[in-house]
Chain A
Amino acid sequence: MDKFQKVTGVAAPMPLINIDTDMIIPKLFLKTIKRSGLGVNLFDDMRYNLDRSEKPDFVLNKPAYRKSEIIVAGDNFGCGSSREHAPWALADFGIKCVISTSFADIFFGNCFKNGILPIVLDQAQVDVLMKDAEKGENARMSIDLEAQEITTSDGDVISFNVDAFKKHCLLEGLDDIGLTLVKKQSISAFEETSAQARPWV
């Protein structure tokens, strides 16, 4: 995984609440056996008409937002299906950070595995950033993970919380599996004890 660098880019406002992973990447595109190439189908039903022409009103189709790197979203973003195709599609499109008042658990975890930083803020803070995002391509936000700070286009700074371990992995681009395999002896020891205590497992 690439290291998470400081992001400065256009933020797309998506105030709709409960944006689910079926919306982020419809099932039609889950038939792939690859992780890559899903960006073109990100938000497919919302983004394209049945004849595949673009819906001009959809935020990522508007000229100002076609190269967005940040999404400011309504509450409970990423609910529903566990499909990791959702963060794959977001990442492939170029999204590096999503900001909302809350995220669904599985989606939240999946983001970190794919170099995307999901940030949870309170409603008032998200409202400020949503307004900022609505300014279009002149509104470039900055996200500094190391400092845990968002800087709006007006220069206002909002700090955010992030789990220390997840932050470390994102900054260093670390692979969880490699980290866990270092603990191989603990896992084996657990399995031995467990084989005695719960042999039926």
Chain B
Amino acid sequence: MSPKTLYDKIWDAHVIERDDDGTCLIYIDRHLVHEVTSAQAFEGLRNAGRKVHAPDKTIAVPDHNVPTTPDRVNGIENEQGRIQVETLEKNALDTGIHYYPVSDIRQGIVHIVGPEQGWTLPGMTVVCGDSHTATHGAFGAIAHGIGTSEVEHVLATQTLIQQKSKNMKVEITGKLATGVTAKDITMAVIGATGTAGGTGHVIEYTGEAIRNLSMEGRMTVCNMAIEGGARAGLIAPDETTFEYVKGRPHAPKGAQWEAALTWWKTLFTDEGATYDKILTIRGEDIAPMVTWGTSPEDALPITASVPAPSDFQDGKVDAVARSLDYMGLTPGTPLAEIKVNTVFIGSCTNGRIEDFREAASILKGRKVADGVRVLIVPGSGLVRLQAEEEGLADIFRDAGAEWRLAGCSMCLAMNPDQLEPGDRCASTSNRNFEGRQGREGRTHLVSPGMAAAAAITGRLTDVREMM
């Protein structure tokens, strides 16, 4: 048998039918659902008189619209948002899919809840009407976002019609320097490939620096695979993975655990398997990163300065001019001199316990700069509880930050947590697009440690100066 990549192996295990032209019908093991991209799918299903094919493999949780303030128990003030969450609840109860309501301590961002509850397992196919489904690839699963029509397709059939993507390897060799995290890896990769560099590919992240990451860190790396244009990102499962999964509520137990483990241990890229594209970055060369523009590819080390349009070529020249105008930045300004008035720590990229530990290690015993609003939002109710038990929440409050309830929050600002026009934010989220965190708001993507450092100084700051 010819050598296979990790992606090839998982793909092959899920092909139901393959047409001559390569179009495949693929089985979907887990379907995650949130309120923003599912209502039209359930409606389509109802209108066609169809049923949810596998309710047991379908998990729903509201996250995008939910407020992160304690008064949310009284309901969502915004009428449309409220209707969307109520619609999800009704659809979930009507169809018998698993559901975590806002009042449940397990509620949170769907990409944090899935792994936390053991729904996401190695070797699976995982989809969700949300591009950051790539997060689950950290377990060695094929995980990617789909549109609402495909949500409906999966609900009705538990399958997708797909063409296989190409294989891309991103290797991060060696060890990371102090102050450099998973977020910096993933930003450095996008900085190198561009936002279309992964288009048509599934990325497998490999190398010593990736192996040394915790599951939390691996999820951060895979989460932003989509920002590099890749269909999905994945990492071969190993002892770190198995240890994280073991004992989770929906992970296999007993004999099934042993059987699963046996198969999971075969999930790696065979010696001699080939990739269509390879990128190698030395872990030692990665510095704490920050974005200066309105595309995730606009990423530079914090020690750099704002570039000029003339530093670029082709269509990027005009795009950079537009970005700098939107961002209100002048070429040549050192990134570490850019003042911020808002800091957001949270999201499916950086809303896990390790992220809050990292932020707390910087904020401990320090105060947030005057005039800076700091919003810290856990990715799930369970992450919130753990952070409170570990004393992290007290550190945040003592520093002058707001410690909130779980949800997507200011990552995409569909709930009340939004930037005002002209606000400038150091954010641990994943997208710095125009208007992403609020119309005319300005976003600089950073790691949790970098965000915490910016909170203290009121400007983008090299976290290494604070360690």
Contact across chains for B319 and A31 when beta carbons are under 8 A apart = no
Contact across chains for B84 and A33 when beta carbons are under 8 A apart = yes
Kindly state whether residue A113 has any CB partner on chain B within 8 Å. Answer: yes
Contact across chains for B229 and A104 when beta carbons are under 8 A apart = yes
**Contact partner, B229, options A30, A76, A164, Cβ 8 Å:** A76
A15 to B433, CA, bound (A): 17
Contact across chains for B147 and A110 when beta carbons are under 8 A apart = yes
Chain B proximity of A69: nearest CB distance (Å): 21
Q: Which residue of B lies closest to A83 (CB)?
A: B37
Chain B proximity of A182: nearest CB distance (Å): 10
Q: Which residue of B lies closest to A175 (CB)?
A: B48
Segment at the A interface, from B157-165, B176-184, B235-243, B450-458 = B157-165
Kindly state whether residue A84 has any CB partner on chain B within 8 Å. Answer: yes
Which A residues between 155 and 201 are near B, CB-CB below 8 angstroms? 163-165, 176-177, 179-181, 183, 186-187, 190-191, 194, 198-201
Contact across chains for B199 and A105 when beta carbons are under 8 A apart = yes
Residue numbers in B under 8 Å from A74 (CB-CB): 315, 319
Chain A proximity of B45: nearest CB distance (Å): 9
A22 to B140, CA, bound (A): 29
Kindly state whether residue B65 has any CB partner on chain A within 8 Å. Answer: yes
The answer to whether A199 and B256 touch (CB under 8 A), given A45-B435, A102-B196, A106-B146, is yes
A18 to B229, CA, bound (A): 11
Contact across chains for B131 and A81 when beta carbons are under 8 A apart = yes
Residue numbers in B under 8 Å from A165 (CB-CB): 19, 21, 23, 161
Chain A proximity of B86: nearest CB distance (Å): 10
Kindly state whether residue B43 has any CB partner on chain A within 8 Å. Answer: yes
A23 to B434, CA, bound (A): 7
Contact across chains for A82 and B21 when beta carbons are under 8 A apart = no
A102 to B231, CA, bound (A): 14
Q: Which residue of A lies closest to B298 (CB)?
A: A18
A31 to B82, CA, bound (A): 9
Chain A proximity of B139: nearest CB distance (Å): 13
A93 to B27, CA, bound (A): 35
Chain B proximity of A74: nearest CB distance (Å): 5
Q: How many residues of chain A are within 8 Å of chain B by beta carbon?
A: 55
Q: Which residue of A lies closest to B36 (CB)?
A: A30
Contact across chains for B431 and A80 when beta carbons are under 8 A apart = yes
Kindly state whether residue B301 has any CB partner on chain A within 8 Å. Answer: no
The digit string for A57-74, where 1 denotes a CB below 8 A from any CB of B, is: 000000000000000001
Residue numbers in A under 8 Å from B324 (CB-CB): none
Residue numbers in B under 8 Å from A198 (CB-CB): 13, 123, 260, 263
A15 to B317, CA, bound (A): 11
By a beta-carbon cutoff of 8 Å, the part of chain B in contact with chain A is: 13, 16-17, 19, 21, 23, 25, 27, 29, 36-37, 39-40, 43, 48, 50, 53, 57, 64-65, 78, 80-81, 83-84, 87, 121, 123-124, 129-131, 144-150, 152-153, 156-159, 161, 163, 165, 195-196, 199-200, 226-227, 229, 231, 251-252, 256-257, 259-260, 263, 295, 297, 315-316, 318-319, 322, 412-414, 421, 431, 433-436, 439-440
4 closest A-B pairs by beta carbon, nearest first, are: A200-B252, A113-B149, A31-B80, A82-B145
By a beta-carbon cutoff of 8 Å, the part of chain A in contact with chain B is: 15-18, 20, 22-23, 26-28, 30-35, 45, 50, 74-76, 79-84, 87, 102-106, 109-110, 113-114, 163-165, 176-177, 179-181, 183, 186-187, 190-191, 194, 198-201
Known: A20-B433, A106-B147, A201-B57. 20 other contacts (CB 8 A): A17-B319, A20-B431, A22-B431, A23-B434, A23-B435, A26-B439, A28-B439, A33-B40, A80-B431, A82-B147, A83-B36, A102-B199, A104-B229, A105-B231, A114-B149, A177-B152, A180-B157, A181-B50, A187-B25, A200-B121
Interchain residue pairs with CB less than 8 A apart (9): A16-B322, A18-B319, A79-B229, A81-B130, A113-B149, A177-B48, A180-B157, A186-B25, A187-B27
